């Protein structure tokens, strides 16, 4: 019989909370540059991968996984001209990336016009799109989200996507590259093991891991959350720590308990009294929970500068949140995330 810690089972109860929206973005808090990857002035797709090796259950509702919308940070180099872009969701694999062409399309939208502007130079926009019908994505397989860019008007009049490079992400040098581009049907990685500023909007909750250091904003919820730089352990003040944030529709009224196991469980399952799906390996669930408000606030597990984050030969730790509604006694499980100690 599959079991979770008794403290959580005792609190399980009667239902789940009403639906709203929460945002998950692989973003360390600093934008490094705006880029078209290697597309130049040609057409192509700039794609953020959500790799199955480190993400399970993004948008999980207990039946399937759905994305309610997307948020992008894009830049128009000449704001007062009318440029267009498209949105694409793609299937694929962690190793090969997004599958190009019609065969790899999960969903597509556009062309959409950039917002109107009177600027004669560059202007950046945070664009939020909500899908009339949420898009179903795989719960335990690779998927990706991208900007589909048409041929640029000129070398001066371009649409660019904002990105954070490996320095801003402060990730381990051996971290997996999860940024992609597709040009003429050929898929590759752009430079600098970047993360594109392309966010998922989920109907209910998100959990993210972040690596922390002395550089603002302190805890970075980008690639380094998946692959913290354990090579710095032993250096004292520059060594990294580890934190989490959980955002749920309950906000500060919800209590987020962060559970840990060794890797994902082999068979995700649902459990009576718990909303959504459990992705932990229940045989190795740790008998503790880091707790905090479910409002996206940072919860610190290991403080940076203490040489406390070990290098462990690629040990994969799975973290999943259980958000408790104290008023109703209900519990909703979040997505699960892997932190790899290289």
Mean pLDDT of the chain: 93
Integer Cα distance of 208 and 172 in angstroms: 17
pLDDT of residue 10: 28
| Cβ neighbours of 130 (radius 10 Å) | 11
Which residue intervals of 5-52 are DSSP H helices?
6-11
pLDDT of residue 289: 74
- For residues 109-113, average pLDDT: 94
Please enumerate in sequence order all residues whose Cβ is within 8 A of that of 248, keeping only pairs 6 or more positions apart, or say none: 17, 22, 204, 205, 254, 256, 294, 295, 323, 332, 334
Planar angle of CA 135, 204, 32, nearest 5 degrees? 75
DSSP structural state of residue 141: S
Ranges 2-11, 187-196, 266-275: which has the least confidence: 2-11
Q: φ and ψ at 71, to 5 degrees? A: -130, 135
Q: What is the pLDDT of residues 222-258, one digit of tens each?
A: 999 999 999 999 999 999 999 999 999 999 999 999 9
- pLDDT-derived band of residue 14, with 50, 70 and 90 as boundaries? very low
- For residues 194-221, average pLDDT: 97
Residue 12 has pLDDT above 70, yes or no: no
| Domain definitions of the chain by residue range | 1-20+205-342, 21-203
pLDDT of residue 20: 74
- Helix or strand (DSSP H, E) at 253: strand 241-262
Which tokens in the block code for residue 84? 């267009």
Q: Is 342 exposed, middle or buried (CB count within 10 Å of its CB: 0-12, 13-18, 19+)?
A: middle
CATH class of the domain whose range is 21-203: mainly beta
- For residues 107-134, average pLDDT: 94
Q: φ and ψ at 77, to 5 degrees? A: -70, -25
Q: What percent of the chain is modeled with pLDDT above 90? A: 92
Q: What is the pLDDT of residues 48-75, one digit of tens each?
A: 999 999 999 999 999 999 999 999 999 9
Integer Cα distance of 146 and 108 in angstroms: 10
Integer Cα distance of 218 and 200 in angstroms: 23
Residue 15 has pLDDT above 90, yes or no: no
Between residues 289 and 305, the one the model is more confident about:
305
- pLDDT-derived band of residue 6, with 50, 70 and 90 as boundaries? very low
Strands 274-275 and 330-341: parallel
- pLDDT-derived band of residue 287, with 50, 70 and 90 as boundaries? confident
Beta strands in 138-193 (DSSP E): 143-149, 159-164, 179-183, 186-188
Residue 320 has pLDDT above 70, yes or no: yes
Of 37, 12, 19, 2, whose CA–CA distance to 192 is shortest?
37
pLDDT of residue 143: 98
């Amino acid at each position: 019989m599959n079991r979770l810690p008794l403290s959580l089972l005792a609190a399980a109860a009667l239902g789940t909370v009403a639906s709203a929206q929460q945002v998950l973005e692989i973003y360390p808090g600093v934008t490094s540059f705006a880029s078209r990857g290697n597309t130049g002035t040609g057409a192509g797709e700039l794609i953020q991968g959500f790799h199955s090796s480190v993400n399970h259950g993004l948008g999980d509702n207990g039946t399937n996984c759905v994305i309610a919308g997307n948020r992008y940070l894009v830049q128009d180099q000449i704001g007062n001209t009318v440029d267009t872009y498209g949105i694409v969701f793609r299937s694929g694999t962690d190793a090969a990336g997004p599958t190009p062409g019609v065969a790899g399309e999960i969903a597509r939208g556009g062309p959409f016009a950039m917002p109107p502007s009177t600027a004669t130079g560059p202007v950046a926009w945070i664009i939020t799109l909500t899908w009339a019908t949420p898009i179903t994505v795989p719960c335990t397989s690779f998927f990706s989200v991208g900007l589909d860019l048409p041929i640029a008007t000129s070398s001066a009049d371009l649409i660019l996507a904002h990105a954070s490079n490996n320095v801003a992400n402060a990730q381990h040098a051996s971290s997996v590259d999860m940024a992609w581009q597709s040009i003429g049907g050929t898929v590759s990685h752009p430079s600098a093991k970047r993360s594109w500023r392309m966010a998922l909007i989920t109907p209910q909750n998100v959990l993210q891991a972040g690596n922390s250091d002395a550089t603002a904003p302190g805890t970075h919820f980008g690639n380094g959350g998946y692959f913290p730089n354990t090579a710095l352990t032993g250096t004292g003040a520059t060594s990294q720590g580890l934190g989490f944030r959980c955002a749920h529709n309950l906000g500060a009224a919800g209590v987020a308990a962060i559970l840990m196991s060794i890797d994902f469980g082999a068979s995700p399952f649902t459990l009576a009294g718990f909303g959504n799906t459990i992705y932990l390996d229940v045989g190795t669930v740790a008998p503790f929970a880091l707790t905090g408000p479910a409002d996206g606030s940072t919860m610190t597990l290991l403080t940076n500068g203490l040489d406390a984050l070990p290098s462990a030969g690629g040990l994969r730790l799975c973290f999943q949140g259980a958000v408790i509604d104290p008023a109703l006694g209900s519990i909703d499980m979040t997505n699960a995330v892997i932190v790899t100690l290289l």
